[in-house]
Copies of this chain bind each other. A is one copy, B any other.
Amino acid sequence: MESLKKKILEEGRVLDGDILKIDSFLNHMIDVNLTLEIGKEFKRRFGGTIDKILTVEASGIGAAIATSMEYNNVPVLFAKKVKCSLMADEVYASKEHSYTRGVDYVLQVSKNYLKEGERVLIIDDFLANGEAINALVDICRQAKAEIVGAGAVVCKTYQPGEKRILDQGVKVEVLARVKSLENGKVEFE
């Protein structure tokens, strides 16, 4: 997606620890024009029909809503990130390790809102080690929902996340494929 890659080159900053910071339009401030384009692009790539979009708070919500708008405003369900899980009966839960923050989270989704047989599209902002999307896939499998695919706005393709999701038989679509952040410079595939 060229407009996205252009924006990343213009405004992204590469920080120590192999971090691509895109706070100015995705992770802190949201560029709504670009977000609506992102929704259209996910629809173009996945097509078909879906029943629900599953994402995770907070940075995935914008892209998820924009994608929903291309699919007749299907509901957007965002998993909650909690430090520890009560493992209550009424939630599906799956562990995620955040490499950026160096902590484990548990992603939780209420069983009321994810049902067997529902066609679910997973949307998130970043795919690097695949921890968050992997947890969302796990949650869908627990619910026996049908996973239509997983879309990430940005993927660091030199990290294992994409393969990890693909290996589970889930279709993956990525809008900006970053192959290197070496020497503080963003390079796309």
Contacts and interface: CB of A to CB of B under 8 A. Distances in A.
A75 B110 contact: no
Given A23-B113, A62-B65, 15 more contacts: A24-B113, A28-B109, A29-B75, A29-B76, A30-B65, A30-B68, A30-B77, A32-B68, A32-B73, A32-B75, A33-B73, A58-B78, A58-B80, A61-B62, A65-B66
Q: What copy number does this chain have within its complex?
A: 2
A24 B78 CA distance: 11
Interface of A: 23-25, 28-33, 35-36, 57-58, 61-62, 65-66, 68-69, 73-78, 80, 109-110, 112-113
A39 to B, nearest CB: 11
23 contacts: A28-B80, A28-B113, A29-B76, A29-B77, A29-B78, A30-B68, A30-B76, A30-B78, A31-B75, A32-B65, A32-B69, A32-B73, A32-B75, A36-B69, A36-B73, A57-B57, A58-B61, A58-B78, A58-B80, A61-B62, A61-B65, A62-B65, A65-B65
Nearest to A114: B29
Nearest to A57: B58
A23 B58 contact: no
A118 to B, nearest CB: 12
Nearest to A83: B83
